[in-house]
Amino acid sequence: MTLFIEQMLNGLQFGVTLFLLAAGLTLIFGIMGVINLAHGSIYMVGAYAGTVVATQTGSFWLGIPAALAAAALVGAAMEFLVIRRLYQRDHLDQVLATFSLILIFNQVITLIFGRQPLFVATPEFLSGSIEVLPGLLYPAYRLAIIVVGLAVALGLYLLINKTRIGMLVRAGSTNRDMVRALGVDVRLLYTVVFGLGALLAGLAGFMAGPILAVQVGMGEQILITTFVVVVVGGVGSIRGAFFASLLLGVIDTALRAYLPGLLRQIMVGPEADALGAGISSMGIYLLMAIVLLIRPKGLFIPKS
């Protein structure tokens, strides 16, 4: 039972990481109508910047502003130089332009930092474990990710539902042209939304550092999973992104944890492990297929 709860917490932790990316992606699409494949590159930039600063200075905490600043800076530059030209283009141009951004980012990072993955130690303060329930020790760092992720989700909820900017964002995701017609500075709104998405991606990248290896290509791996989240939750819906992230995070983790064991009862060990790993990485895609059959627009479509 404790093992099960531990796996659920792992799933939750993966889920909130996905949410930090999916929220930005779904907002950017909902408001700006742009599909941004390079969102994962911002995640990677945040991870590298934060990890390098944290390792050089020896302070994990200095890594956070570094990651956020780098992600915001890169995001702003990306919006200004490339994305801005894509608003009026069709999806094909958007896909190809942001695909080329991925190639460029990956090579630039390789040129600067090489192919070796970077590792960063968890901060002293969070390196131990916390007894979540009697007899259940859980790493403090992962717990901190969950807390930060949920706090960000709450913050986003308040921002979008209770502030003026949030009102514009909601209006923008419902009817972009109407917002423009009402005299709102749409360009500023776009920049704010894109910057917010970049910040969240950078934060997610840096927080994932101590758990995963910081390496070239880390962005695309999680980006594709994030796409599944966005499709399942409904494109443009933050609420959908939140619930879909947690759901898929938990399901993915549970499959990885339990499927090889189940298969091992009917197959030989190593083969069961390999097939189990394969099928469990397919799990979320199968779930997406089922959702598409029942609700082609996603589980939480914003009311139109």
Binding site for other proteins (CB under 8 A): 29, 35, 82, 85, 90-93, 95-97, 99-104, 106-108, 110-111, 220, 224, 227-228, 230-231, 235, 270-271, 274-279, 281-282, 285-286, 288-289, 292-293, 296-298
Distance CA 206, CA 170 (A): 28
Q: Is 294 exposed, middle or buried (0-12, 13-18, 19+ CB in 10 A)?
A: exposed
Neighbouring CB atoms inside 10 A of 34's CB total: 20
Taking the complex as a whole, how short is the minimal distance between the CB of residue 43 and other proteins, in angstroms? 16
Taking the complex as a whole, how short is the minimal distance between the CB of residue 288 and other proteins, in angstroms? 6
Contact 54, 120 (CB under 8 A): yes
Taking the complex as a whole, how short is the minimal distance between the CB of residue 18 and other proteins, in angstroms? 13
Taking the complex as a whole, how short is the minimal distance between the CB of residue 233 and other proteins, in angstroms? 11
Contact 51, 214 (CB under 8 A): yes
Nearer to other proteins, 192 or 279 (CB): 279
Nearer to other proteins, 182 or 286 (CB): 286
Amino acid letter for position 176: R
Nearer to other proteins, 85 or 187 (CB): 85
Listing DSSP states for 98-151 in one string gives HHHHHHHHHHHHHHHH-SSPB--PPPGGGSSEEEEETTEEEEHHHHHHHHHHHH
Nearer to other proteins, 28 or 54 (CB): 28
Q: How many CA atoms lie within 13 A of 15 on its CB side?
A: 28
Taking the complex as a whole, how short is the minimal distance between the CB of residue 98 and other proteins, in angstroms? 9
Nearer to other proteins, 1 or 92 (CB): 92
Neighbouring CB atoms inside 10 A of 279's CB total: 15
Taking the complex as a whole, how short is the minimal distance between the CB of residue 80 and other proteins, in angstroms? 13
Nearer to other proteins, 90 or 131 (CB): 90
